[in-house]
């Protein structure tokens, strides 16, 4: 195996470990929602008042897929629809108070996991790691 192949396999294995840790300690079960629902909830928390089409574009999904997710989150009392003040035909999406609490809790839980991982590195090592990852990820943006 060439060094280049060994490095790509090593990166694949490391990313898989991070993903397994992410999933193992995921807040979704304790919050009573699925992974896709959490992603939608977090997107809406960062973009209150957005439209279905905008959310679909942001999450790289179809508008019907987002609509289904929004209906499920509405049923759970986590999302509310409201008319767009600029266009009464359009609908804007907002989190309910409970939806905002869940989004805040999920972000806090994820931040603790990331801080725990970064705490094993010095400040300089953290900056180096993050800079290298940002540079490596430019090929997928």
pLDDT at position 111: 87
> How do residues 67-85 score in pLDDT, each as one tens digit?
999 999 999 999 999 987 8
CA distance to 53, 56, 70, per residue, from 60 (Å):
10, 6, 15
Q: Is residue 108 part of a domain?
A: yes
Q: Is residue 13 part of a domain?
A: no
Q: Is residue 84 part of a domain?
A: yes
- Quote the DSSP letter at residue 81: E
Domain extent at residue 130: 25-140
CATH for 58: 1.10.10.10
Contact between 46 and 95 (Cβ < 8 Å) = no
The residue ranking higher by pLDDT, 54 or 2, is 54
Sequence-distant (6+) residues with CB within 8 A of 93 are 44, 48, 49, 50, 51, 52, 55, 70, 79, 80, 81
> Into how many domains does the chain fold?
1
Q: Is residue 29 part of a domain?
A: yes
Q: Is residue 4 part of a domain?
A: no
Q: Is residue 17 part of a domain?
A: no
pLDDT at position 25: 57
Mean pLDDT, to the nearest integer, of 112-136? 92
- State what percent of residues in the chain have pLDDT above 70: 90
pLDDT at position 30: 65
CB-based burial, 36-61: b 16+ in 10 Å, e otherwise: bbbbbbbbbbeeeebbbebbbeebeb
Beta 87-95 vs 79-84: how paired, if at all?
antiparallel
Rounded to 10 deg, the angle between the 63-75 and 35-46 helix axes is: 90
Q: Is residue 42 part of a domain?
A: yes
- To the question of pTM greater than 0.85 for the whole model, the response is no
> How do residues 25-42 score in pLDDT, each as one tens digit?
565 666 678 888 888 999
- CA angle, 96 as apex, 28 and 54 as ends, to 5°? 80
pLDDT band of residue 45 (cuts 50, 70, 90) is very high
Q: Is residue 65 part of a domain?
A: yes
């Amino acid at each position: 195996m060439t060094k280049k192949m060994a490095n790509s396999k090593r990166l694949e294995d490391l990313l898989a470990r991070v993903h397994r840790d992410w999933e193992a300690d995921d807040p979704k079960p304790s919050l009573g929602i699925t992974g896709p629902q959490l992603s939608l909830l977090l997107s809406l928390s960062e973009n209150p008042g957005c439209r279905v089409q905008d959310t679909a574009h942001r999450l790289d999904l179809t508008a019907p897929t987002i609509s289904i997710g929004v209906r499920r989150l509405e049923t759970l009392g986590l999302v509310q629809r409201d008319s767009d003040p600029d266009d009464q035909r359009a609908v804007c999406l907002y989190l309910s108070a409970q939806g905002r609490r869940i989004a805040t809790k999920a972000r806090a839980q994820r931040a603790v996991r990331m801080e725990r991982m970064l705490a094993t590195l010095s400040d300089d090592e953290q900056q180096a790691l993050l800079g290298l990852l940002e540079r490596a990820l430019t090929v997928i943006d």
